[in-house]
Structure 1
Amino acid sequence: MSQQNCNLAVLDSAERNVTSIRTSLCTSSTLQYELYLCMLDSCSQVDQIISINILQDDTCLGVPFPSRKTYIIQAEIILTVFTYAAIISRLISRLWVARKIWWDDWIVIAAAVLMVPNTAIPIYTAYHGFGTHAWNVPAQDQVLIPKLYYAAQIFYTLIQCLAKFSILFIYLRIFPLPNFRLIIKICIGWMSCHTLIFTLGTAIQCLPVQTLWDPSIGHKCIDIHAFAVSGAVLSIFEDLVIMLLPISELKGLPFTIRKRIALCLMFALGSFACITSMIRLKYVKNYYPNIDASWENVDIVIWSDIETYTAIICSCLMCIRPLLKKCFPSLFPPAQNQFVIRNNFNTRNNFAAQNSNWTNSNFDSQASNATLASPGLTHPRGAKTSDKFRSSNSRFQSASLGLGKESWDAGNGIGNEGHFGTRTMREMESQQPQTSNYELVERK
């Protein structure tokens, strides 16, 4: 069927209540949609391009048409600026304060690299017709947009999974309990399978792949709609699991008001990421490929980026506390306001005779017991911590250890497992037993 026949069929469906094809067809999205469907069903891809050229350059030349170009560009720029600001703050915190990059940081760096093409594709295609109806897309860009949209789907899957990997590896690094770490490793295994299955599924959703931008080719495709919906539902489930995982580990710890507020804000942001996944699901459910995709897919693309970029921001906010503490120390009161050890115990050690690699299980055990006996202080079973004590006995004061005036380090764990480490203890010389009060200055 030619374009002329399609025009007649469409105008017949409008009961010919028109005096001008230009007035009726070019100002009615409904009639243009019906014409476009007729061309898809009746014309080859070459004929479709010819028909669209005639529609744009002859029949409807100069008639304004709706476009979401500005919305796409603004949304992508705002999302990208906030996300990269969070990533850069995280890396500054690691390199300037902690002076170490961990696995979760490398994962976020990989996501940041993939964000470049993922952000560039919507902006670039917006200048070539993405955000307008399919019949308003320039004929020369009819193939470009679905090609780049196909690439964007793969980038979305990878960035989404990397964001979740980053949070899971943070959990693996900061939570010491074996049972909880096992759960985290199971979640990492699950996400590995998710990444592999959905990346491959997206890459080979149609064979040959060219079918996605030229449906006239003989092809075999999976149910793309069902595949997209199942991925969205799984993403919501994973967001909920990742958000709720640390609650069991955190609920028993004593926190200040400020830390409780910070945790509430963190979980609120995690909840927002989960809500964005649910909103995206609404648009995915209404998604049908190859029908006015340049217009209908705008909301899916934007909400996909909101979902993934929010998850990245959430993972970064969990890591920038050292930077904030260094830049705004007044916001973070010293730890001695939180935990105080009031236990007295005797130390019977000859510090003068030991110059380096000094360990003393007797003292270490007493320090551990004092720590555990302190009211309001929790010490997770099996956890290893480094505690800085302050002694009321002036003979134990040591500024040269780098811990501050009247402080010294007791890197103790449970029972006899801890040790002072490789430090010279000459400044702590004592030949006689001492009795002192000890205050826990810092736990890390």
Structure 2
Amino acid sequence: MAEGPTSWLQNLGIAIEVFCPVFALVVVILRLYIRFDTKNLGWDDAFICAALALTIGLSVSSIICMKELFIGIHYWEIPQPANPGNGMLWVFITGIIYSPILALAKQSVLIFILRFSGIKNLVRNVVWYTGIVNISLTIATFLAIIFQCTPVEAFWNTSVSGQCINEFALAITSGTLTVLTDIIVIGLPFYIILGLKIDMKKKKGLMGVFALGIIVTLVSIVRLYFVALSFIIVTPDKTFSLGFCVAQIECSLAITTASAPALWPLIRRWLLHHKTTRNEVFYNREYNISHLGRVRASDCPFTRGGCCEPDGQRAQTDGGLLIGPSMHNPDDDWTKSLRLFCVTSPVTNMTDGDSRQKTMVDDG
């Protein structure tokens, strides 16, 4: 790695390259924790782990690029003569690492959508076609980046004569297609959630979780702007910019937002745990012992067995005790779909004598 001057801007860029993948790593660890805990691991988790591994590699290669090409340094502070050959090699490597990350994150979301039960065949087909297009574009972009110059070495070695395709056209085309597939992947969950038979409050909550993907699309547009700017701008001080780091922000956000729906059970568990310390309604259901020593029915109001249900109506036991929502059909497709977002826990079986108790029992 080249030794040379440094600056506050370059140090900030390096901090971004370190912080973003670390944050994404924490999110994925939490995702895997709740998936192991609920015995709900799937291929969507495998794809997100692959995206995370590449994002960590992107961080390493990007930091090397910043040092080799003096990114974040004013041009008059760059030692002369400057040889960009090694830096361009790392730009080439960085491009190869970057190209599949967003596609892997989107594929994870698409697989997650396919795990919904009861979605319409039309929607299922759209998900499959989108996944095929997503993978095809990724393979095409990956190969185009590798073989954009003939011979390949001509990309970073100026002493080798060769021909290269229009880099500007490649960057803008691939970036635009990325944004378009982002929009499709974001829109599909909205269409599905609108068809769920749940109250509007839960529906808005789920839509809000999936809507986080819009942030990634906005960052992708910003990255596309900086890419175009790097080809158009004529100032000699092109290196004094952090536009290079936007790719890392984009990839880490993609992993984070793609994991948000899978984290819903964990978030819900935390919220319910916090709420149980404040709301006495949690302790007048069927009888399980709470962490405060009280006997309660379940993990939350309007639940059965700790999992949210499609309607908000309360049901009564044969003894008249309110135990949670009624369900017209607990095995319908929409109920099964909702359980992707819920933390289920078996309810302890009670005897007839126990089920008719209506007192609240405190420790001691």
TM-score (normalised: structure 2) = 0.71
Shift of 1:155: 0.9
Who is 2:44 aligned against?
A: 104
Does the 8 A contact of 1:122 with 1:130 survive in 2?
no
Does the 8 A contact of 2:21 with 2:52 survive in 1?
no
Which protein has greater RCO, CA pairs closer than 8 Å, 6+ apart? 2
Per-residue deviation, residues 179-210 of structure 1 (Å, max 9, x unmatched): 32221111111011111100000111111122
> Counterparts of 1:172-321 in structure 2 under 5 Å?
172-177=114-119, 178-256=121-199, 259-288=202-231, 295-296=238-239, 299-321=242-264
Who is 1:117 aligned against?
A: 57
Does the 8 A contact of 2:105 with 2:255 survive in 1?
yes
Residues of 2 paired with 1:224 and 1:137: CA distance? Answer: 27
- Pair member with larger Rg: 1
- Which one is further off, 188-197 or 264-273? 264-273
Residues of 2 paired with 1:273 and 1:258: CA distance? Answer: 25
Residue identity in the other structure for 1:84: L
Cα gap change, 1:387 to 1:79, in 2 (>3 Å): closer
Give ranges in structure 2 of 5+ residues lacking alignment.
Answer: 276-298, 304-308, 318-326, 340-344, 353-364
Does the 8 A contact of 1:211 with 1:218 survive in 2?
yes
> Counterparts of 1:49-64 in structure 2 under 5 Å?
none
> Counterparts of 1:14-413 in structure 2 under 5 Å?
68-95=9-36, 97-128=37-68, 129-132=70-73, 136=78, 142-177=84-119, 178-256=121-199, 259-288=202-231, 295-296=238-239, 299-330=242-273, 333-336=300-303, 338-340=311-313, 371=328, 385=336, 402-405=346-349
Shift of 1:249: 1.6
Cα gap change, 1:150 to 1:289, in 2 (>3 Å): farther
Residue identity in the other structure for 1:304: A
Shift of 1:295: 4.3
Does the 8 A contact of 1:161 with 1:195 survive in 2?
yes
Per-residue deviation, residues 5-48 of structure 1 (Å, max 9, x unmatched): xxxxxxxxxxxxxxxxxxxxxxxxxxxxxxxxxxxxxxxxxxxx
Shift of 1:100: 3.9
Residues of 1 paired with 2:260 and 2:338: CA distance? Answer: 25
Shift of 1:174: 2.1
Who is 1:361 aligned against?
A: none
Residues of 2 paired with 1:203 and 1:289: CA distance? Answer: 23
Does the 8 A contact of 1:86 with 1:313 survive in 2?
yes
Q: In the comparison of the two structures, how many residue pairs are matched?
A: 302
Cα gap change, 1:214 to 1:243, in 2 (>3 Å): same
Does the 8 A contact of 2:71 with 2:242 survive in 1?
no
The alignment-based identity, stated in percent, is 22
Cα gap change, 1:404 to 1:275, in 2 (>3 Å): same
Does the 8 A contact of 2:199 with 2:312 survive in 1?
no
Shift of 1:137: 5.5
Residues of 2 paired with 1:168 and 1:240: CA distance? Answer: 13
Cα gap change, 1:155 to 1:110, in 2 (>3 Å): same
Give ranges in structure 1 of 5+ residues lacking alignment.
Answer: 1-55, 57-63, 345-369, 389-400, 408-426, 428-444
Shift of 1:87: 0.8
Shift of 1:98: 1.5
Residue identity in the other structure for 1:108: I
Per-residue deviation, residues 134-164 of structure 1 (Å, max 9, x unmatched): 6715757622211111111111111111111
Aligned residue for 1:99, secondary structure, equals: coil
Cα gap change, 1:139 to 1:290, in 2 (>3 Å): farther
Cα gap change, 1:102 to 1:302, in 2 (>3 Å): same
TM-score (normalised: structure 1) = 0.59
Per-residue deviation, residues 84-141 of structure 1 (Å, max 9, x unmatched): 111111011112x213421000111111211222001222333442333567157576
Shift of 1:312: 0.8
